[in-house]
Structure 1
């Protein structure tokens, strides 16, 4: 477990890289500025986010902020290159997830030298002198390389003090669990698999992290939007949600309504009750969205709400819940 002093809430920056909607540099920088003004000090970014846009925008926003006041994480495993082949995992129905982005696209590279090049290029894009955290990014289909050469590069960077903590960030808990068991990781970033809607990581990742003393950061707390507004057509895992997913989210929302608690407020607070979870990330593309998220985070939630969710079978029976 890392000794970094994590806040309970941090800012994820995929949206600041034009994820599913293009925004201007000024609007992106304004979100980071407001987050800093509201006391948010943990920023998570990646080369993939907007093909470098998010890293550049984060760097511009924090250029005058004392470096020791921030925790900044970025990710490795993809290099941005002009001759990159099309990555179908970054499209849905032929439409890219990231819009109006630079022409250099992501190329997988978990080699030792590739990881070090990735860090150097991310430092150049952000203008920072160092990162606090480096994460192996989405190595689902590259586990052998990520666990060997990729991990070795991060381990060596940590050993010489270039970075304070290392880990991996993924949407799937099973391969992330394998990395936790095979490598000495300080933390993991898990998106979407420990939420009010989906606690599947209780079966593998969270117990492994408890055994190894690995900290957990949770992203995707709204499961791409269905835990904000579970209307037909809502998104789950970045694509339209299945009917059963919407039905379950609506049932959770009905319990929240009994206590006059917004569904999204319960979704934000829920993961932090687990002893391994240090931080939840919110992703906002506008200042108004950020203010909404931070306001939801401050919402008081009665303990009886969690008990009702448990008794209705809407959350796992043994899941930790907030006090």
Structure 2
């Protein structure tokens, strides 16, 4: 079954689940409404995000909307269970999470149960894409049972497309080469700042006809607002990378282009990339993402970054209007 035609800009829904700081139900609702208002009708979530809170809040925000008006992806691999007496939730970066725990589960029954629970939290009968989530340390289970279980759901027509979501482009490339993968979500490895996916994942996807959704276009925030203390890969950015991001920002400013706009547009330089999912915790952040994506970026900016040795000479460059 072909991958649905995704909007080029989607909403990454991890921030809706109190990622690093609390977000109100109203803010989450307004972020989703702003995504619809700005043509970003693709929503990516996961049970991992806030121990189901992201899916619950997204489901409430989607309630009453025509199911054909948006596309939806979630993830499997981590099944949620209720906490045992005296057990505390492990937020893993998410605050104020429900009283649940994560369990790795790649069995056929576990994959199906995980998806069914997600559908219940989302309040829908189906999702468009299901990704196996962060499986880099569980490859034997993926090859033994996990992917086959997910492929069976696709064969039964219960999901339209399947794939993997993680931030390891080399492992994604191997999975694409080995398995019948429709689409991958690659976070942080094909960005203006870090382009490791060009050496492994993107060639594999081009060979196999696998679509690519990019996440982490701001590399955890460094490309959104480069300053001392900015995050890269969920930790404080090394000085060398901060200096490089600041240099990029200065070059962009010469063309009156915010660095965020360049970072959001750059991944589309590769033809396998079909969409970018960007997180937003409220309507203002979603509107800003849409405004950055709509900015016109002159071709000369990309060539200036090459001339300043901030982009390699052999990397693909975006084409204005494409």
| TM-score calculated relative to the size of structure 2 | 0.95
Matched, 1:211 2:210: no
1:93 maps to which residue?
Answer: none
Moved over 2 A (4+): 82-88
CA distance in 1, matches of 2:89, 2:204: 31
CA distance in 2, matches of 1:273, 1:2: 22
Matched, 1:320 2:316: yes
Contact 2:131 2:165 in 1 (8 A): yes
Offset at 1:311?
2.1
2:33 maps to which residue?
Answer: 33
1:259 maps to which residue?
Answer: 255
Matched, 1:160 2:169: no
CA distance in 2, matches of 1:111, 1:240: 37
Offset at 1:248?
1.1
Matched, 1:220 2:216: yes
Distance 1:3 1:76, change over 3 A: closer
Offset at 1:319?
1.7
2:230 pairs, out of 228, 234, 247, with 234
Contact 1:147 1:179 in 2 (8 A): no
Matched, 1:171 2:167: yes
CA distance in 1, matches of 2:141, 2:258: 43
Quote the RMSD (CA, aligned, Å): 1.6
Offset at 1:181?
1.2
1:274 maps to which residue?
Answer: 270
CA distance in 2, matches of 1:73, 1:275: 21
Contact 2:88 2:99 in 1 (8 A): no
CA distance in 1, matches of 2:258, 2:280: 18
Matched, 1:198 2:232: no
Local SS of the residue matching 1:119: helix
Offset at 1:317?
2.1
Offset at 1:147?
2.7
Matched, 1:140 2:110: no
2:117 pairs, out of 114, 117, 121, with 121
2:62 maps to which residue?
Answer: 62
Contact 1:143 1:175 in 2 (8 A): no
Structure 2 unmatched ranges of 5 or more: none
Matched, 1:130 2:126: yes
Superimposed CA distance per residue, residues 253-302 of structure 1 (whole angstroms, 9 cap, x where no aligned partner): 11111111100000000001210000011110011111111111111111
Offset at 1:83?
4.3
Distance 1:213 1:86, change over 3 A: farther
Offset at 1:152?
0.6
Contact 1:11 1:40 in 2 (8 A): yes
Contact 2:83 2:89 in 1 (8 A): no
2:108 maps to which residue?
Answer: 112
CA distance in 2, matches of 1:289, 1:279: 18
Contact 1:199 1:316 in 2 (8 A): no
CA distance in 1, matches of 2:33, 2:196: 35
CA distance in 1, matches of 2:184, 2:116: 22
CA distance in 2, matches of 1:190, 1:9: 15
